[in-house]
Amino acid sequence: MGCVISREVQSGIVSEVKEEKSLTVESNRTVEEVSTSRGEGNVVEVHNGEKVKEKEEKSDGDGVQRPKGERRRYKPNPRLSNPPKHLQGEQVAAGWPSWLTAVCGEALNGWIPRKADTFEKIDKIGQGTYSNVYKAKDTITGKIVALKKVRFDNLEPESVKFMAREILILRRLDHPNVIKLEGLVTSRMSWSLYLVFDYMVHDLAGLAASPDIKFTEPQVKCYMHQLLSGLEHCHNRHVLHRDIKGSNLLIDNEGVLKIADFGLASFFDPNRRHPMTNRVVTLWYRPPELLLGATDYGVGVDLWSAGCILGELLYGKPIMPGRTEVEQLHKIYKLCGSPSEEYWKKSKLPNATLFKPREPYKRCIRDVFKEFPPSALPLVDTLLAIDPVQRKSASDALRSEFFTTEPYACDPSSLPKYPPTKEMDVKRRDDEARRSRAAAKARVDGGKKHRTRDRAVKAAPAPEANAELQHNIDRRRLITHANAKSKSEKFPPPHEDGQLGFPLGASNHIDPDIVPHDVSLDSMSYTFSKEPFQAWSGPIGNHPTTNGITKRKTKNTANDALDLSKPYKGTLKDKGKGKKIIA
């Protein structure tokens, strides 16, 4: 078949050092880096499956851990992806397609071919912007795995580039709370490529949205501790995830949480700034600096998202569910306050003039979340700091009193065993419920006169029509990226939020005729339906605002920042056309 899969996974950074010495990896010998939430310093050497010794490591200040006595011989280039030509030749000879060795040869090192027909697809379990995900069985080991099939639409160089980056990043990460890339399956003949992962039954969005599940404080601490430990590892390895949200936090039946979907992740160099796109992170979890156009940012973007997740787990629903970038920023200002004068001055954010409110907004996190456990408030407050510097680091968050005071985080293995609950399962269940409600209604209506039914159908669409509408909106959002998950870096659309609101990424994203500079943000407003939210991971799920928009204007106050039962005043106009936004 000419298909291949890797068998051995190495920690990328450690293997870079090994690669220098010898390009041949000794059989049955792997080096695993073990990390803890307190820091990442121990290297465990494993020989023939047995732990041989633990080595103390030291870092040369570049965050890369290496054994005592071994000095940094060269500064690894985090963006390096291609091995020298002769290595590419070896990889092709080993069975890898040459196009793959050309784009991410480094990530293939140490992996050996295996045939794709040794996997049996069981079910489609997920769909992403550029991939389908399947549950499958490895027929050799009997293990259940997840196969992420990457689509290459006409071999679009962008999608190849992003796929290569995701693979490279995944191979550099090795932590219990980060999804592990177990291998790649590809064919010389076809352009499709499968990424092989451990199969995970749940995601946090699905669990959180499940009506039967109410997390206790120790459980929230347990999930947050795992999330922050995974983030600490990514950041120590100079990787920004840039899309932390519930549906990207996968959970297995042992309660272990793993950060997944590194499709938007990027390497960063803390010592040498290079501009990055601000069109990343799903809207509800996107920090203010990105909405304000920052291209020079760091770990703070992931920490903000983690703060949104913590708020969500404790509050019971998403804390800032904006529909457009403007609305998102407004929600942030209302809850977290608007940036201080000092921050405006030092940050020099591209969109500052457009989004600086005339009157500053007061921060009211501690009022709004006064019901939160007292030890959680300081952490929420830190993670949701407007100035990213004040969000500190994942390691600091792990040392916060939230984790060091009783009740402590429970052990993952003590978490209840839930039925499979992914965000996708929740959506499927909602769709089924809608369909059966529609069927029941149709049976009732069936007894009525024909003319009456016709009129009723015209007057108000049947529930399944709404469901279909919702489904199409969701799909369109997935496809167009206008769903608040900025994928413009993957497939840059001309006007990313065109259908939903204002694309803020470009400096001219708002028509000054519509939003004059001297208009306070307070004068722009939006509306919410009174229905409760059903999905937790951004507007991909059922979103009440898509069901209709009320034109009623009401005055909003700081305290209604999170009060979704009240309609929020509103006349946000569509870009340049003066239309109401219909998401």
Ligand X SMILES: Nc1ncnc2c1ncn2[C@@H]1O[C@H](COP(=O)(O)OP(=O)(O)OP(=O)(O)O)[C@@H](O)[C@H]1O
Does residue number 482 form part of the binding site for ligand X (CB under 6 A)?
A: no
Contacts of 160 (CB under 8 A, 6+ apart): 99, 103, 152
Does residue number 481 form part of the binding site for ligand X (CB under 6 A)?
A: no
Q: Is the dihedral of CA 570, 559, 323, 384 positive or negative?
A: positive
Q: What is the DSSP string of 1-52?
A: --EE-------HHHHHHHHHH-SSPPTTEEEEEEEETTEEEEEEEEETTEEE
Q: Are strands 181-187 and 239-240 parallel, antiparallel or unpaired?
A: unpaired
Tell me the C-alpha to C-alpha distance, in Å, between residue 351 and each of 143, 293, 522: 50, 6, 17
Does residue number 281 form part of the binding site for ligand X (CB under 6 A)?
A: no
Q: Is 148 part of any known ligand binding site?
A: yes
The count of chain residues that interact with ligand X, using the rule CB under 6 A, is 23
Q: What is the DSSP string of 173-230?
A: ---TTB--EEEEEEESS-S-EEEEEE---EEHHHHHH-TT----HHHHHHHHHHHHHH
26 within 8 A of 2, measured Cβ to Cβ: no
Which one of 96, 119, 130, 403 is in contact with ligand X (CB under 6 A)? 130
255 within 8 A of 293, measured Cβ to Cβ: no
225 within 8 A of 277, measured Cβ to Cβ: no
Active-site entry in 138, 174, 203, 243 = 243
Q: How far is the CB of 128 from ligand X (least distance, A)?
A: 2
Q: How far is the CB of 401 from ligand X (least distance, A)?
A: 33
Residue range at the interface with ligand X (CB under 6 A); choices 71-79, 196-204, 517-525, 571-579: 196-204
Q: Which of residues 235-264 bind ligand X (CB under 6 A)?
A: 247-248, 250, 260-261, 263
Residue range at the interface with ligand X (CB under 6 A); choices 105-113, 127-135, 337-345, 468-476: 127-135
x-or-dash pattern for ligand X, window 424-443, by CB under 6 A?
A: x-------------------
Using CA atoms, how far apart are residues 279 and 301, in angstroms rounded to an integer? 12
Does residue number 136 form part of the binding site for ligand X (CB under 6 A)?
A: no
Does residue number 129 form part of the binding site for ligand X (CB under 6 A)?
A: yes
What are 229's two structure tokens?
């430990």
Q: Which of residues 141-160 bind ligand X (CB under 6 A)?
A: 146, 148
371, amino acid identity? E
Residue 243 a catalytic site member: yes
Question: In the complex with ligand X, which residue's Cβ is closer, 181 or 314?
Answer: 181
Q: How far is the CB of 116 from ligand X (least distance, A)?
A: 18
Does residue number 538 form part of the binding site for ligand X (CB under 6 A)?
A: no
Using CA atoms, how far apart are residues 244 and 232, in angstroms rounded to an integer? 13
Contacts of 294 (CB under 8 A, 6+ apart): 278, 347, 349, 350
Q: How far is the CB of 135 from ligand X (least distance, A)?
A: 7
Tell me the C-alpha to C-alpha distance, in Å, between residue 318 and each of 110, 182, 321, 331, 580: 42, 33, 6, 12, 24
Q: How far is the CB of 420 from ligand X (least distance, A)?
A: 10
Does residue number 422 form part of the binding site for ligand X (CB under 6 A)?
A: yes
Which one of 128, 412, 505, 538 is in contact with ligand X (CB under 6 A)? 128
Q: How far is the CB of 489 from ligand X (least distance, A)?
A: 12
126, amino acid identity? G
Q: Is 54 helix (H, G, I), strand (E, B) or coil?
A: strand
x-or-dash pattern for ligand X, window 197-216, by CB under 6 A?
A: xxxx--x-------------
Q: Which of residues 90-109 bind ligand X (CB under 6 A)?
A: none
Chain residues that interact with ligand X, rule: CB under 6 A = 125-126, 128-131, 133, 146, 148, 179, 197-200, 203, 247-248, 250, 260-261, 263, 422, 424
Please identify every residue annotated as catalytic. Answer: 243
Annotated binding-site members for ATP: 148
